[in-house]
Amino acid sequence: MHTFRRSAALLALTVGSIASLPALAADELHYNQISLRAEVSTEVARDLMIVTLYTEEQNTDPAKLAADVSTTMNKALAQAKQVKDITLRQGSRNSYPIYDTKGQKITGWRERAELRLESADFAALSKLTGELLGDLKMGGMDFAIADPTRKSSEDALLKEAVTAFKARAQLATDALGGKGYKIVNLNLNSNGYPQPYLRAPMMMKAAAMDSAPVTPEVEAGTSQVSMTADGSIEVLMQ
């Protein structure tokens, strides 16, 4: 009876050990693994022009003030809608009280409203901006990368990053005397496209001094964007 129990216990231990072999294989340490990083970059033209214009007025009557601001903005919107290929966006609009010197009594109200214009047609938007500066003030002029351009450049960089990673993987394999390699993991990341490039509106003072429309000169320039390929490979030895 005791012999039978010992045999059963030994059998159970053996079966348990066999069952654990797949788990051990799964947890087996992999040697000859190397972490690699490749980065590619390119200059991308900023092909989207963004202009922010605003009006700011004050009045003792808040209702009259709101009406005046609305009239100015509606006129600008109507004029801007006549120009093709320009996207119009109404920005923030804020009203706040003006206090006396003691800061206790409200003596008036000030209101500010913004208009944002976007276009890939720099000439048309520059001309429109100069015309609108007769009634509005320049808030800022920015240049960014348009979404279609961003996507196409990102796709091209992704392919280049993978090619660069594979080339580096082959160099590492050759240096170790391996017969080949397999990719264990690979992560592709863009550095994120830069924020719009702000160009100080140098023409603002000229527009204020001259009643004639002034067309701002523009120079969008380029932005450097990059794509990184981070990952690891396992070198297959001879």
Mean pLDDT, to the nearest integer, of 191-220?
A: 53
Q: Are 94 and 112 within 8 A, CB to CB?
A: yes
Q: Are 229 and 218 within 8 A, CB to CB?
A: no
Mean pLDDT, to the nearest integer, of 40-69?
A: 93
**pLDDT (0 to 100) of residue 186:** 95
How does the average pLDDT of the chain come out, rounded? 82
Q: Which of 112, 129, 113 is nearest to 50 (CA)?
A: 129
**Identity of the residue numbered 164:** A
CA distances from 71 to 60, 92, 135 (A): 17, 16, 11
Is pLDDT of 30 > 70? no
**pLDDT (0 to 100) of residue 12:** 42
User: Is 49-144 a domain of CATH 3.90.1150.10?
Assistant: no
For the chain, domain boundaries: 49-144
Report residue 9's pLDDT band, with 50, 70 and 90 as the boundaries: very low
**pLDDT (0 to 100) of residue 103:** 81
Q: Buried b / exposed e across 34-63, counting CB within 10 Å, b at 16+?
A: bebebbbeeebebbbbbbbbbbeeebeeee
**pLDDT (0 to 100) of residue 10:** 42
**pLDDT (0 to 100) of residue 220:** 73
Q: Buried b / exposed e across 137-148, counting CB within 10 Å, b at 16+?
A: bbbbbbbbbbee
Q: Are 51 and 220 within 8 A, CB to CB?
A: no
Q: Which residue has the higher pLDDT, 166 or 202?
A: 166
Is pLDDT of 209 > 60? no
Q: Which residue has the higher pLDDT, 20 or 159?
A: 159
